[in-house]
Structure 1
């Protein structure tokens, strides 16, 4: 199944060491969950968090949410055990941090067959190698690690993310060229709604499928921003109807609201309606 055929508007990080958070995630309206065994878990809690998460995933109850586990790097003392513990527990994908080479993905794939692989892109080398990483046959998605990337670039933090746009665009191009999901990085000031709206809108306008989130309070804004608006849905329907009528009259174009509508616009319109339908279906069963 095409991984982009389902919504990924909101992708929420959940610390795997927190039993209460794992339970609450079953009720949150996020499209996807990243259960984090890496940055969100202290070294002394890694083993217990791994066991707690495996038990929670086996128990289930997460509905139609797409379940991703971010393991520690395979070059760390915890990575191999993380991956081994996630075999057969019901995760949809394993997310590997700081991916830079296809060899890293090969190693992860060998360690856990039959599960999708996702890649965190958070270093300059990862960005430069994004086309090869996106082409890997097991990779279903990219998650942008914008905090680490900004640190590695040594760039200034700006509300418009000017210094990150080239990197975001490079990874987005690679993802689109190979048909995989692309998730924008986190917005750190989780109490600042205006800033989150602006950054979600920027990511949406660039072409990302959704936003990675660090707090449940961010879900509603991401879900609203990355969903088709009622105006977009209505326009899509009118474009399709007008184009169908034009084709019946032997014409290759139609006009809607004073604008030319060609087949390429109809492709976009149908994708908009399909996305709206997928969101409605997901929300009905979550």
Structure 2
């Protein structure tokens, strides 16, 4: 299978807000997150669903925030709220729709079919919340739906709160017993060229703990983190930014494969190590992402 690489668009910090919180939504243009997830699911009571949709609709009627992805998290596709949520998605054309409680590939494919049947723009992508035991068991098959004909899946987002609830695994500072699940999501995402987003840190006032989670998530291979408070944005942006060493290595690889005659080669000796063309494509993606971040967040 031909390797498909992640888009360069940065997703270091993804702030999740209840769609019903008009005051918090109004503050978004002053914040420096890479993306915002407007939630219609757990954070919004049943009695507030319609009002939340109205507030989200108003947000999309305003000019977009430069460089910020806009994602709508709908309710469970099996719920009575999903039809109205998807109608809102078709009306507002967000960058992505985040599907909660994903269990199997069919949860993704059903939404893909609904969007296609309603002539939704291809720019509306799908993100999957990996927050059920079945989502972890089926991670590879779920990720593969992004590489089928007409597939829209671009990202996997871990939801540890629901996973812990469903499995009985207790929270701990090092996330010891859920780390294998986190790595399973990273592996599935990388196998199919998807972005992978780490779970929220519920202790939003404990910024030291949050910074630690960002550091370990970055080491695991995640692209960014889902946030629940604006105070978490700076640490996420800093930790998930490509380092100067990574950028320098990418530039060296790009220069090597851009040299005269290198276009016919699949591997090069760069700095005493063998580098394959695969790494050249990865270097291009990293450099493009770093350049975007530098323009937004010097």
Cα gap change, 1:51 to 1:112, in 2 (>3 Å): farther
SS at structure 1 position matched to 2:60: helix
User: What pairs with 1:195-214 in structure 2 (closer than 5 Å)?
Assistant: 195-214=209-228
Aligned to 1:116: 125
Q: 1:14 Cα shift?
A: 1.3
**CA–CA separation in structure 2 for the residues paired with 1:85 and 1:267:** 37
Relative to the length of structure 2, the TM-score reads: 0.85
**CA–CA separation in structure 1 for the residues paired with 2:201 and 2:31:** 19
Q: 1:150 Cα shift?
A: 1.4
SS at structure 2 position matched to 1:5: coil
Q: 1:2 Cα shift?
A: 6.5
Is the contact between residue 243 and residue 261 of structure 1 (CA under 8 Å) also seen in structure 2?
no
User: What pairs with 1:157-172 in structure 2 (closer than 5 Å)?
Assistant: 157-172=171-186
| 275-284 or 117-126, which deviates more | 275-284
Aligned pairs, number = 279
Aligned to 2:148: none
Aligned to 1:18: 21
Is the contact between residue 19 and residue 44 of structure 2 (CA under 8 Å) also seen in structure 1?
yes
**CA–CA separation in structure 2 for the residues paired with 1:101 and 1:128:** 9
SS at structure 1 position matched to 2:90: coil
User: What pairs with 1:116-265 in structure 2 (closer than 5 Å)?
Assistant: 116-136=125-145, 137-237=151-251, 252-255=268-271, 260-264=272-276
Cα gap change, 1:180 to 1:252, in 2 (>3 Å): closer
Find 1:54's aligned residue among 54, 57, 63. Answer: 57
Q: 1:18 Cα shift?
A: 1.2
Deviations 1:122-162 (A, max 9, x none): 01101111111111122111110011111212112111111
Q: 1:225 Cα shift?
A: 0.2
Find 1:89's aligned residue among 89, 92, 111. Answer: 92
Q: 1:30 Cα shift?
A: 0.7
| 108-117 or 47-56, which deviates more | 108-117
Deviations 1:41-72 (A, max 9, x none): 11111111011111211223322211110011
Aligned to 2:40: 37
**CA–CA separation in structure 2 for the residues paired with 1:192 and 1:232:** 29
SS at structure 2 position matched to 1:167: helix
Q: 1:86 Cα shift?
A: 2.0
Structure 2: give runs of 5+ residues left out of the alignment.
Answer: 146-150
Cα gap change, 1:2 to 1:241, in 2 (>3 Å): closer
Q: 1:90 Cα shift?
A: 3.1
Structure 1: give runs of 5+ residues left out of the alignment.
Answer: none
SS at structure 2 position matched to 1:182: strand
Q: 1:253 Cα shift?
A: 2.4
Deviations 1:210-231 (A, max 9, x none): 0000000000000000001234
Cα gap change, 1:267 to 1:77, in 2 (>3 Å): closer
Is the contact between residue 214 and residue 240 of structure 2 (CA under 8 Å) also seen in structure 1?
yes
Match status 1:276 vs 2:290? yes
Q: 1:164 Cα shift?
A: 0.9
Deviations 1:82-108 (A, max 9, x none): 111221313011111010122222222
Relative to the length of structure 1, the TM-score reads: 0.88
